[in-house]
Amino acid sequence: MKNPHLPPQLATAMRQAVVLEYWNLFWSGTIILAMGLVLGQSQTMKTAWIEDTLGLVPPIMFLISAQVEQRGRGSKRFPFGFHRVNSLGFFVAAVALATVGGVLLCDAAIALLAAEHPTVASVVLFGHEVWLGWLMIAAQVYSLIPPMIIGRKELPLAETLNDKLLHTDALMNKANWLTGAAGLFGVIGLGSGWWWADSLAAGIISLDIINDGIKALRSSTAELIDGAPRALSSPELSDDALALRRRVQSEFPEADVRLRETGRLIHVEVHGVHSPLENRHPGHYWPSGDERSWRVAQVSFVPPADKKNSEDPSAQ
Residues facing residue 257 across a β-bridge: 270
Per-residue model confidence (pLDDT) at position 310: 47
Mean pLDDT for the chain overall: 80
Is 50 exceeded by the pLDDT of residue 274? yes
pLDDT 10s digits, 152-175:
899 999 988 888 889 888 877 877
Strand ordering across the sheet containing 256-262 = 256-262, 265-271, 296-302
Per-residue model confidence (pLDDT) at position 157: 92
Per-residue model confidence (pLDDT) at position 116: 62
First to last CA, the chain: 48
CB of 59 within 8 A of CB of 147? no
Q: At the topology level of CATH, where does 8-224 sit?
A: Alpha-lytic protease prodomain-like (1.20.1510)
Is 70 exceeded by the pLDDT of residue 187? yes
Length, in residues, of the chain: 316
pLDDT 10s digits, 236-257:
888 888 989 999 999 899 999 9
- Identify the band that residue 1 occupies on the pLDDT scale cut at 50, 70 and 90: very low
- Nearest partner of 51 among 35, 67, 65, 66, judged by Cα: 35
Q: How far apart are CA 110 and CA 114, in angstroms?
A: 6
Is 60 exceeded by the pLDDT of residue 309? no
CB of 165 within 8 A of CB of 58? yes
Percent of the chain having pLDDT more than 90? 16
Q: How far apart are CA 96 and CA 118, in angstroms?
A: 28
Give the helix ranges, DSSP H, for the chain: 11-37, 43-54, 57-69, 85-113, 132-161, 164-191, 195-224, 239-251, 307-311
CA distances from 130 to 3, 121, 133, 271, 311 (A): 53, 9, 8, 72, 87
Is 80 exceeded by the pLDDT of residue 261? yes
CA distances from 16 to 38, 55, 66, 210 (A): 34, 19, 12, 29
Q: How many CB atoms lie within 10 A of CB 27?
A: 17
Q: Find the range with the poorest average confidence among 92-96, 99-103, 181-185, 270-274.
A: 181-185
Average pLDDT over residues 32-59: 80
Q: Find the range with the poorest average confidence among 38-47, 143-152, 210-219, 223-232.
A: 38-47
Q: Where are the domains of the chain?
A: 8-224, 239-315
At how many degrees (to 10) do helices 85-113 and 43-54 cross?
Answer: 170
Q: How far apart are CA 209 and CA 93, in angstroms?
A: 12
- Nearest partner of 194 among 203, 206, 186, judged by Cα: 186
Q: Which residues contact 301 (CB under 8 A, 6 or more apart)?
A: 269, 270, 273, 274, 275
Is 80 exceeded by the pLDDT of residue 266? yes
Q: In 257-277, which positions are buried (b, 16+ CB within 10 angstroms) versus exposed (e)?
A: bbbbbbbbbbbbbbeebeeee
Average pLDDT over residues 192-219: 79
- Nearest partner of 220 among 57, 39, 4, 107, judged by Cα: 57
